[in-house]
Structure 1
């Protein structure tokens, strides 16, 4: 019987060593998975911030152009602005709205941890996708004569809205 006790103790010690080794491996694996998840989250957040900032700059450019030269902005669409009321309307819709969207997206890009960021980015994404949808409906009702400007802006709106929507869903 004296030989059985040491054998049982050796088996117990071996089992404990295996359990300790397994626990260490599990902890190390969890740490690696957590590190990978943090790196993925950081990459997605950075991509979302850059996308948001790029679209903010696009809206800022469009808005400033709309405020400064409303007739030139709508000329590619075949729209003539005959008076001050027409120019004011373009300045308001393209200029003011563009600058406001730029400010909203700029704030979302600068402060990506803010609780309202997701809602702000989602609102702009939906607005862009709505404009793309309107262009698609117009295409069905009355095809444009050329690729630019209608199809160009359709793709800008579709891709921009899709990218912003992706940034909301991945963060």
Structure 2
């Protein structure tokens, strides 16, 4: 599960770095001024790639593994809870945010189970 999650973070990160619009169009944000592109590249791109690298490195660092896995699991599950809360408040959950929430739950729980 560590490798699958690393691949998911890497894919998200690389896409966000190369084409920020590819990330935001999934949630109906079609125009990105320069500061917004910078934000997408930082938060989705840089973070995603860094988390992928961290997951790969922690496989060979037993002293890091459990902490990294728990931390990233909680980050993923926290994102899913944020989406759930938004759904409750807005009374609407569109297809892609719902898909992302399912992916976050599956990866987050999968990481915890891998411990």
When the two structures are superposed, what TM-score results if normalisation uses the length of structure 2? 0.93
Q: Work out the CA distance in 2 between the residues paired with 1:145 and 1:59.
A: 23
Instruction: Give distance in 1, aligned partners of 2:31 and 2:113.
Output: 37
Correspondence for 2:75: 127
**Structure 1 residue 108, shift from structure 2 partner:** 2.2
- Paired position in structure 2 for 1:69: 19
Asked if 2 retains the 8 angstrom alpha-carbon contact of 1:76 and 1:149, the reply is yes
Aligned to 1:16: none
Give unmatched runs, 5+ long, in structure 2: none
**Mapping of 1:105-120 within 5 angstroms?**
105-109=55-59, 111=60, 114-120=62-68
For 1:97 and 1:137, how far apart are their aligned partners in 2? 23
1:89 alignment counterpart: 39
SS of the residue corresponding to residue 114 of structure 2 reads: helix
On the 8 A contact 2:21/2:32 being kept in 1, the answer is no
Say if 2:17 and 2:46, in contact at 8 Å, map to a contact too: yes
Query: Runs (4+) of structure 1 moved beyond 6 Å?
Result: none
Counterparts of 1:22-171 in structure 2, within 5 Å, are 51-109=1-59, 111=60, 114-144=62-92, 146=94, 148-168=95-115
Aligned residues between the structures:
115
For 2:63 and 2:79, the matched residues in 1 are separated by: 26
Q: Work out whether residues 65 and 95 of structure 1, in 8 Å CA contact, stay in contact via their aligned partners in 2.
A: yes
Q: Tell which structure's C-alpha radius of gyration is larger.
A: 1
